[in-house]
Amino acid sequence: MLFFSFFKTLVNHEVTVELKNDISIRGTLKSVDQYLNIKLDDISVVDELKYPHLSSVKNVFIRGSVVRYVHLPAAAVDTPLLEDATRREASQTAAKAKQGT
C-alpha cells in the first residue's frame, strides 16, 4: 500500500510513464488506484510518429501491469519521508507477523 499512498501524493504533478512496449507518455498524473493503474491528462507521447494511434488522445488510463517505469519530478519526492514510511511499514508488517505466530 505504500506506493499507492506515495503516488497519491504525486497527483497533479508531471510524470513520464514508460510502458513495457517502450512507449513513453508524459502527462499530468490525475489518479492512481490500488493496482497502480494510472490516469494521465494532457498527454504527449515521446516519439509520437512511431505511435500514431495516440495522436488524437488527450488523456489515458494505463493498466498498472504494463508500466515499466514512472519518471518522477525529483522536487516532488520527499526521500527521507519515503524512507521513514518504508521503515514504519516494515516494522508494522513484522509486528503483525509476530502476532500471527
Partner 1 sequence: MENLSLHDAGPQPPGGGQQMPPGPPPVPQLPPQMFTTAAQLLDLTDKKLMVSLRDGRKLIGVLRSWDQFGNLVLQDTVERLFVQNLYADIDRGLFLVRGENVLLLGEIDLDKDDYVPAPFELGSVEKVFALKKAEEQDRKKTDKRRHRKLAELGFEGEHQGEAIL
Binding residues for partner 1 (CB under 8 A): 4, 8-9, 11-12, 19-21, 31-35, 37, 39, 43, 48-49, 52-63, 65-66, 81, 84-85, 88, 91-92, 95
Contact 48, 30 (CB under 8 A): no
Report the candidate in 83, 81, 85, 76 with the shortest Cα–Cα distance to residue 28.
76
- Tell me the closest approach of the beta carbon of residue 88 to partner 1, in angstroms: 6
How is residue 39 written as a grid cell?
A: 490516469
Contact 11, 38 (CB under 8 A): no
Give the nearer residue to partner 1 in terms of CB position, either 77 or 91: 91
Give the nearer residue to partner 1 in terms of CB position, either 11 or 46: 11
